[in-house]
Structure 1
Amino acid sequence: MSPQHFQDDLAEWDLCTGKGLVSDLDAWRDRYITEKVAQGVSDKTRKSYGEALTPLIEFSHQYDSIMDLDGLSAKFVNNYLMWYQEHLASKDLEAKKISKEEYHQVLSNRKANRGKNDAKLSIVYRYEKSLSHRLTVLKQLLLFISENNKENKDFTSLFKYFTKIKVQKRKTEFVTESELEELIDFMKHWPEVFKEHFPKSSERYAYRNALIVLLYCLSGARADEVISLKMEYIKESEYKDDHGTTHLFYTIAYHTTKGDKYREVVVRREEIEPFVHYMRAVLPDPSYVLSSTYTNGTYTNKKMPDVDMWKFTTYALKAIGVNKSGRHIIRRGYATKELADGKDLAIVAMELGHTSTNTTFSAYVKNNPELMMRQKIK
């Protein structure tokens, strides 16, 4: 018996509720989300699935009186995706970020508009990424319906007609090993020189920002993981090797941005000890986040805006002569350096928070012949 036939035997729900398309989709959405919860997905993931299907329910209201789920077609899906794209565009139109004419102009000729219209391009790419996510969740929902309805209605044949969404290609730029080492050295001395760069800034922000960048460089963490890090999750540890030498380090527990989990990394204590001591002394409580803002003479325990850290990191890179921007390039640089030094792929994957070594291999090894050879030799 094939897996499909086995699933059909277990089908337990009627395809349609008899109350119209909206009622049908509402019922199947609830069942689909319940199934995801049973599979152990995080609350954040479950919420994203629900939000991805909400616009579909909204769009379906106009068809509620004339069709039910049995009449779902490829044309309906494509009309929904076009409607959703216009729905996103109208929000930015109201906010005067981009006009409908500008949107279509940029969409039809990205290459000509690249550079002078970066802000508009980012809006277009946001539309496309949002559409791609909703399309993926919609496919999963219809596959779930196909496998669990009593009438054996199969929607998988519609997949080939779905609109293909082009998403912005991921950049592969990263800081080199020498650039990474230079940035680390620059940040270690930042509290001594910051006044030369930002005369109106304060010492508390100099230590805070330097520690954040150092953690980017020394642990390869994602930007938000460091900004959201609470001081109580930076703990002193030590290790005695076979020769009796004691090594001091910090164990840092990052709250992962993908799922409600924590992962631990280690950093040699000597690398960041003065900065950790300073932040522990000035923050009112260990439960405060490392990036806590300072307002009206007191710390707020609210993390700093992500864009501020992006600007600071980019400035620091420019200050040492590296014409690159952002924080993720530091994460890529860390991974590339660790793999080049011979660290096991599985260890690097764990440090980066990748659930599979395939992700690490695809992102950092596959397009690097030297690293690929080193991994092959190992």
Structure 2
Amino acid sequence: MTATLPIVRLFRSRGPGSDRVAFIELFFDLVFVFAVTQLAHHLIEHLTPSGVLETLVMLVAVWWLWIYTTWVTNWMNPERGPVRWMLIIVMLVGLVLSTAIPEAFTDRGLQFALAYVVIQVGRSAFVAISYRRVGLPVPAANLVRITIWFGFSAPFWIGGAIVGGTPQLMLWTVALAIELLAPTLLYRVPFMKTVALEAFDVAGAHMAERAGLFMILALGESIIVTGTLFSRNEITTSSVLALLAAFAGTILFWLLYFSHGAEHGSRFIQRAQSDSGRIARLTYTYLHMILVGGVVLLAVGDDLVLAHPDDPVDAATLAIVTAAPALYLLGNLLFKRSIGRPWLRSHLVGMAALTALWLAAPAIPGLTPLALTWIVNGIVALVVVIDEYVWPTAEDEDAGEDEDDAVRADESERGRAAE
């Protein structure tokens, strides 16, 4: 029994405080800040339909690496030596992958593909072996299934990198399609027993906090891109206004997610208990990809506006500047709906207004990128203001429920003490 105790400690307990985010997890995220920055720069340098698709494929791949590692640290204790070293190794290989992003569809495709496959297969196999050594065959079998699915997609990643060109984009898209489909199929594998979704239970508070921290990192990346470009440009009235517009846009994005979404999502998944696996899969695994995509587009749009604030608006700048908040509003709409909120009409109206602006902008004489981004900020600000008047009642109800739960728990504890 004493021989297996260190192995057992590799996994999180489900006691009070066990869902705390460890410092090594925050340290781990630094690699992905760099990756998101690389993705934004790749899109800025490839503002073509194929460039957008390339960036989208790599963005989903980067998110898929991060979210699967988050699931692992939700189950395993990242403060134990073997788990910590696993994360450090993933960081190193993730850094190799991130440096390949600018040339992933030219000279460094194989570097990107091999790094991706090594992380996904190696990390999943590590967890499967750890579960097996502890004597937990069901979760061990689940991780074996996940490893098999990553092994199935691996030839498409590596083969695409070898052939290059248009086939590379197609093969990498197939690889991601396989991996995105796998969770919805519960990682079914022939001749292996299928398990229920409840087997993939999570510590809800940890999952929600990790997702929120990634959103902060992504928004921080937007500030980094904006600040870097501003520091290199001549200081003019237009450049200062463009910097203020970029900063205001980032704050508005933060308010949309954190004011009336992140905290409620944390409470919602904690209350779900046995349904936490389903919520983690839909809300924090799939839907957050849309939110991260909106933040990346925001950084790209800010870069384009800062570079040429007073030029006539071109088609690419118009598309990026209006698509970023529209995509982010869509992500927030679906996210908040998935955690029990109604369909928010403010978000739908905001998306409709941004679409109308995109259609009408070419007919507006003298419209500049600077003016466009302030109009967009005005639309998003209106959504935020509406939410500030609509949401407090629902938030107060949540707070009341939390207080009632606390009172009932206290009364129950007193009853047990009296007995």
TM-score, scaled relative to structure 1:
0.22
Richer in strand (by share): 1
Richer in helix (by share): 2
Larger radius of gyration: 1
